[in-house]
Amino acid sequence: MKSAYIKMHIAIFLWGFTGLLGKLIELNEGMLVWYRLLISSVAIAIILLYRKSFPKISSKEIISISLIGFLVMLHWITFYGSIKLSGISVAMICLSSIALFASILEPLVNKTRFDYIEIFFSALAVTGIMTIYNSDAGLAKGIIVGIISALLSACFSILNKRIASKYETLTISLIELSSGWLLLTLLLPLYFLIQPTETFLPSTSDFVYLMILSLVCTVLTWVLSLQALRKVSAYTMGLALNLEPVYGIILAIAFAGEGKLMNGGFLSGAAIIMITIILHTIYKWKKLKKPPEKSIGPMMN
């Protein structure tokens, strides 16, 4: 059990590096995500080939999973777009609202009753984000894109819950990531019209960062999290994931010089969001008598 908790926290800490690596990589968000999807897909395919664990999946299911992969791809593009526009800290703050936004979206998707206390927590989170938004006009675009990223993440996490119990999680991940890569490849001409770029190939440093992002912060962390989930509950993993934005912001301040963003408005908004997350976590812990079903949502940061 102890080793499982260690693996879980190592995975979450490494996920915290995704924002910093996105800042360090000079490619724009579209090409960054294109390479991350490609490298991660190839690595997972090699693991599955080595394990000889390719199950048979119907064409209908593959299409459904591929559509979720499209959401994953859009989430990553908007996440890194937020970083490029306003910095790691802003993107991470917006990302921390995923669980709160999911509390509104999940009843709509599953046609269940709303929990108005969770909606209240969501309103508090939005208040915190708006406080940061008003603290610096230069952060506005990054916050808007970051909120879109959080909403996309909440959407695919909810949809993933419906298929997580049907197939092995690495198989689902391979279909999602490879389909996301294929769809992005088809959309690149349109993307370049909206977001022109002159750099298509990564520099030496970009290549190194991309390999770390794809192999260490995507594939390795997913394997570690899967091993941890054999001993700890998915609910425990979900609670621990609240540390990811904290790690990301600490790394942004330490290595990306983002301490200058921490004005009074930013700190006030961040405090509102963090307090809301803590209160929401306590509320969920008291509300749930048993862990919820296993989800593969945590991978996609």
**Tens place of pLDDT for every residue, the chain, 301 residues?**
678 888 888 988 999 999 999 999 999 999 999 999 999 999 999 998 888 777 778 888 899 899 999 999 999 999 999 999 989 989 998 887 787 777 788 788 777 787 788 778 878 888 888 888 888 878 889 999 999 999 998 888 788 777 766 777 788 889 999 999 999 999 999 988 888 888 889 999 999 999 999 999 999 988 888 778 677 765 566 667 778 888 888 898 888 888 776 788 888 888 888 888 788 778 877 776 554 444 444 456 7
- The reported pLDDT for the residue numbered 137 is 77
Model's pTM, two decimal places? 0.87
pLDDT at 125: 81
Instruction: Report how far residue 291's alpha carbon sits from residue 246's, in angstroms, rounded to the nearest whole number.
Output: 24
Q: How far apart are CA 24 and CA 36, in angstroms?
A: 14
Q: Please give the Cα distance from 301 to 298 (Å, whole number).
A: 7
Nearest to 19 by CA among 81, 63, 74: 81
For position 296, what pLDDT does the model report? 47
Q: How many domains does the chain have?
A: 1
Domain with 52 in it: 2-299
- Give the tokens for residue 278: 């803590």
DSSP 8-state assignment for residue 138: G
> Hey, what are 5's tokens?
């908790």
Contact indicator for 73, 180 with CB cutoff of 8 Å: yes
